[in-house]
Amino acid sequence: MNSIRTQVLGFIAVILLILLVVLNVYPLVSARDLVFTEKENAMSAQASVISSSLSGLDRLTSGGVREVLSFLEVSGYDRIVVASEEGRVIYDDGGAAGVMAKDPDIMTALGGKTVFRSSFKGDAFRSACVMPISRQGVITGALYISEEDTERAGIILNVQSRIRVISGIVAILAIAVALFFVLNLTDRIKILVDSMRTVAGGDYAHRLKMRGKDEIAELGDEFNKLTERLDETEKQRRRFVSDASHELKTPLASIRLLSDSVLQNENIEPAVMREFVSDIGHEAERLQRTTEELLDLSRLDDDIQVMPEPVDVKQVALDAYALAKPLADDKDIRIKLDLQDGCVVMATANDMYHIIFNLLENAVKYNNPGGSVDLIIENKGDTVEITVADTGIGIPEEDRLNVFTRFYRVDKARSRASGGTGLGLSIVHDAVHVHGGTITIGANKPQGSIFIVSFPAARQEDTGI
């Protein structure tokens, strides 16, 4: 794996290298160029003075040249050569006169051009200036002066070695600091990765402790929040599965018990037999209802939702009423309707039916004989409100938030006796929220409960009416 550590360190090393090379080369090159220019100026000036003095001589002779040089007090040069117009050496303070000059620069100077050369090699600046000597516009010879400067070269070499030492120290420091930061960073990333592995392995209770206040610490916080949610979801899932299996197990156990009794009892009376079989039927019905409710819930949990359509709430309310009425009649309970026309919301008729029927069924189921239920549908402009109010046993305040939880029943015994699984209101809650509505529970006066569901009213462009 190409770790961040190597990548970052490699990057820093490359940058550092470039920086140090520039730092080592640039000042020296500029200093050298500066010395070259200075030398050129100084030597050209000197050469012109000598050459114009020499041009005063009628004839270039070794003695004449020497005289002029001593008159001008020329010193500090390594070598001074004067050549005649045909290139013969007339004066050479470092060699023999009379030979032909071999230096091509002297030939160039005899052609009328001044040449200056300077180089920095080893430990000295070696510079040479070659200039024509002319008398009344006619070239009569060439002057060559050269110089070797070790003093300036020494200064430059000294600076160079100091820069090298400083660069070395800077490089070591920079690498050390970078290493510290990178190691710290990768250590913390490793902690994060380890935590992720732990959580991925199923330990949802694991929490990450990250020092600092930077982005990595923020990442750690977000990771903890995520794990917490995962933990919660996982707990909910477990609870749901155990509740659901319990709800399915109980009626199945009853069915087994009842059927065993029928089988073991050979001389069972037809009336008793009928009763047992009818009980088995009831339990089977309960199972069927529970499984249907679970399927409804899982459908509502799914992200894929049926496209909402304009639903006339009054129409659905009438359908639900038709089914709830026999239950109400059985318990001598009156359902009073107050249904406004033109209450249209964007939902599905099926979900709307579940909402109204479950609320009506509860209002009947948890009512007292002789009680009543009000079903009101009204258009409040921006919203459509569905109110189901009963005169029943009511829901204690502390239970009101919980009744929407799956399998939650206020009075287990009573709810089970009336065939309840505690899923009805969860379905109502999910269906309401899927279609952008809200639901509230309150106490009815003088007694009972009141459920108010509110949906945004469908806009005209949605309904197409």
Ligand X SMILES: Nc1ncnc2c1ncn2[C@@H]1O[C@H](COP(=O)(O)OP(=O)(O)OP(=O)(O)O)[C@@H](O)[C@H]1O
Residues that bind Mg ion (CB under 5 A): 362, 424
Per DSSP, 103 falls in state -
Q: Does residue number 453 form part of the binding site for ligand X (CB under 6 A)?
A: no
Q: Which x/- pattern, by CB under 6 A, does the window 253-292 give for ligand X?
A: ----------------------------------------
Which amino acid is residue 263, in one-letter code?
A: L
Q: Shortest Cβ distance from residue 393 to ligand X (Å)? A: 5
Q: Shortest Cβ distance from residue 383 to ligand X (Å)? A: 22
Looking at 424, 430, 435, 454, which residue binds ligand X (CB under 6 A)?
A: 424
Q: Shortest Cβ distance from residue 464 to ligand X (Å)? A: 35
Contact 54, 68 (CB under 8 A): yes
How many residues are present in the chain?
465
Pairwise CA distance, residues 78 & 46, whole Å: 14
Q: Does residue number 392 form part of the binding site for ligand X (CB under 6 A)?
A: yes
Looking at 128, 386, 403, 458, which residue binds ligand X (CB under 6 A)?
A: 403
Question: In terms of CB distance, is 62 or 368 closer to ligand X?
Answer: 368
Residues 282-341 that bind ligand X (CB under 6 A): 293
Per DSSP, 59 falls in state S
Contact 80, 95 (CB under 8 A): no
Pairwise CA distance, residues 15 & 349, whole Å: 68
Give 30's contacts (C-beta < 8 A, 6+ positions apart): none
Looking at 257, 393, 443, 452, which residue binds ligand X (CB under 6 A)?
A: 393
| Size of site (CB under 6 A) for ligand X | 24
Looking at 54, 57, 65, 395, which residue binds ligand X (CB under 6 A)?
A: 395
Q: What are phi and psi of 186, to 5 degrees?
A: -70, -30
Q: Does residue number 362 form part of the binding site for ligand X (CB under 6 A)?
A: yes
Q: Does residue number 131 form part of the binding site for ligand X (CB under 6 A)?
A: no
Q: Does residue number 415 form part of the binding site for ligand X (CB under 6 A)?
A: yes
Taking CB atoms, the residue at the shortest distance from Mg ion is: 424
Looking at 420, 432, 434, 458, which residue binds ligand X (CB under 6 A)?
A: 420
449 binds, among ligand X, Mg ion, none (CB under 5 to 8 A by kind): ligand X
Q: Does residue number 423 form part of the binding site for ligand X (CB under 6 A)?
A: yes
Contact 367, 324 (CB under 8 A): no
Q: Give the rounded distance of the alpha carbon of 407 from its chain centre.
A: 40
Task: Copy the structure tokens of residue 316.
Answer: 């659905």
Pairwise CA distance, residues 262 & 94, whole Å: 139
Q: Shortest Cβ distance from residue 449 to ligand X (Å)? A: 4
Q: Does residue number 363 form part of the binding site for ligand X (CB under 6 A)?
A: yes
Looking at 77, 120, 357, 366, which residue binds ligand X (CB under 6 A)?
A: 366
Question: In terms of CB distance, is 391 or 426 closer to Mg ion?
Answer: 426
366 binds, among ligand X, Mg ion, none (CB under 5 to 8 A by kind): ligand X
Q: Shortest Cβ distance from residue 209 to Mg ion (Å)? A: 46
Pairwise CA distance, residues 278 & 267, whole Å: 18
Q: Does residue number 46 form part of the binding site for ligand X (CB under 6 A)?
A: no
Contact 110, 104 (CB under 8 A): no
Q: Does residue number 132 form part of the binding site for ligand X (CB under 6 A)?
A: no
Q: Residue for token digits 């009573």?
A: 414
Pairwise CA distance, residues 174 & 180, whole Å: 10
Long-range contacts of 194-202 (CB under 8 A, 24+ apart): 195/220, 195/223, 196/223, 199/227, 199/230
Taking CB atoms, the residue at the shortest distance from ligand X is: 424
Taking Cα atoms as reference points, which of 40, 28, 32 lies closest to residue 147?
40
Q: Residue for token digits 């600076």?
A: 159
Please give the order of strands across the beta sheet that includes 438-443. Answer: 334-339, 372-379, 383-390, 449-456, 438-443
Please give the order of strands across the beta sheet that includes 89-92. Answer: 89-92, 79-84, 138-149, 124-135, 115-121
Q: Shortest Cβ distance from residue 361 to Mg ion (Å)? A: 5
Q: Does residue number 411 form part of the binding site for ligand X (CB under 6 A)?
A: yes
Question: In terms of CB distance, is 255 or 450 closer to ligand X?
Answer: 450
Question: In terms of CB distance, is 140 or 362 closer to Mg ion?
Answer: 362
Strands 334-339 and 372-379: parallel
Element (H, E) at 224: helix 215-264
Q: Shortest Cβ distance from residue 396 to ligand X (Å)? A: 9
Q: Shortest Cβ distance from residue 417 to ligand X (Å)? A: 10
Question: In terms of CB distance, is 144 or 404 closer to ligand X?
Answer: 404
Task: Copy the structure tokens of residue 173.
Answer: 């420091």
Element (H, E) at 272: helix 270-301
Looking at 118, 140, 387, 421, which residue binds ligand X (CB under 6 A)?
A: 421
Q: Which x/- pattern, by CB under 6 A, does the window 161-180 give for ligand X?
A: --------------------
Q: Does residue number 243 form part of the binding site for ligand X (CB under 6 A)?
A: no
Q: Shortest Cβ distance from residue 245 to ligand X (Å)? A: 16
Task: Copy the structure tokens of residue 12.
Answer: 């820093």
Binding residues (CB under 6 A) for ligand X: these are 293, 358, 362-363, 366, 390, 392-395, 403, 408-411, 415, 420-426, 449
